Amino acid sequence: MLVVTAVAVAAIVVLAARVHRRPADAVLVAHTERLKRLPRFRELATQQRWLSWWQTAGIALAVIGCIWLIARPQATDITQNRYSTRDIVLCLDASTSMFDEDTQVTQAYSQLVAGLDGERVSLVLWSDAAVTVFPLTDDYGWVQDELSRAGRAFALGDQEYVAGTYLGKERASLISDGIVSCVKRFDLSNPERGRAVIVASDNDPQGGPPVYTLPEAAEFAKERDVRLYGIGSADLSFQEDKRATFEKAMTDTGGTFSLLGDDGSIESILAGIDRLSADEVVEPPKYQVRDAPGWPIATIVLGVLMLIAGWVYALVRSGRLFR
């Protein structure tokens, strides 16, 4: 920066010297009082004075700009991040009976995530045991990629993708234990944070008894201020008892229940999430100091342009420009 400034100052000095240099073919004349009284002479003298003032102003601006630039003017940028305090766990039944519908569920989850703004999201698969696919995050691009990957795995019937959800005990689709596992995935206990679990299942437990019953799982979530939202398998429309117990567990916590594919189901979940406590967290401001050479450079450029304009005008007026 100092080198550039020094070059600029040198250029200004050279240009100023050329502007004020006496022409080589100038002729000195004595006894010019009568000549100085001529209107034309006075007009030319006035033009010359204005030209000198113009060039002096250009030199002054250029020099001021150089001094200003050497002083390294700085500016301070202030950034302050704001984010939501709501956390959402996508709690997906990965049992074999749900494979055909899990592809649609992941699409519904993707639609849900697209309507969020600042909330953290996690995906947990469960059947006999629970596995976290990704922890709570607000990186929605990554979330959408993982949901697409899950959808492809379910569409292909990829058992390896859900391998960790089976412990070999011939138990599956333990919805109550799955809900409790999902509730435990919240990493912060701040009471001001809104929490929701979006449960997708056919509510069709297989094998041995679960650790928690469905009402106990709902109470477990309620005690921790976690609201449950249910997306039931379309088959539940023909199984009234299973649908009723699933829906009651969700509504007991203040959440909602809908069947997969119902019109407005995602919108109702989003509306419920919007009603969750969500005090906005504001991070302390971050200050970043940076060089701000814009105005000094603009001042130098303006001064140089004024000098060049004055020099060109002087050449045109003297008729030497096109010689």
Give how far Cα 16 sits from Cα of 70, 177, 182, Å.
Answer: 21, 86, 78
State residue 323's pLDDT score. 55
Is this prediction's pTM over 0.95? no
Specify whether the CB–CB gap between 86 and 195 falls below 8 A. yes
State residue 261's pLDDT score. 75
% of the chain surpassing 70 pLDDT = 79
State residue 207's pLDDT score. 73
State residue 194's pLDDT score. 83
Domain ranges of the chain: 2-23+32-78+290-318, 82-282
State residue 29's pLDDT score. 67
State residue 252's pLDDT score. 93
Tokens encoding 85: 């305090």
State residue 149's pLDDT score. 94
State residue 30's pLDDT score. 67
Q: For the domain 82-282, what is the CATH code?
A: 3.40.50.410
State residue 315's pLDDT score. 78
Per-residue pLDDT reduced to its tens digit, 295-310: 999 999 998 998 888 8
State residue 89's pLDDT score. 94
Per-residue pLDDT reduced to its tens digit, 130-158: 999 999 998 999 999 999 999 999 999 88
One pLDDT digit (tens) per residue for the chain, 323 residues: 555 555 555 655 555 555 455 555 666 666 677 766 777 777 777 878 888 888 888 888 988 999 998 888 888 888 766 666 788 999 999 988 888 889 988 998 998 888 887 789 999 999 888 999 999 998 999 999 999 999 999 999 888 898 888 876 677 778 999 999 999 998 876 666 788 999 999 888 887 788 899 999 999 999 998 999 999 988 888 899 999 999 999 999 999 898 887 766 677 777 777 766 554 556 678 888 888 888 999 999 998 998 888 888 877 776 665 55
Distance between CA 79 and CA 208 in Å, rounded? 55
State residue 284's pLDDT score. 75
**Per-residue three-class SS string for 46-78:** HHHHHHHHHHHHHHHHHHHHHHHHHCCCEEEEE
Per-residue pLDDT reduced to its tens digit, 36-48: 677 777 777 787 8
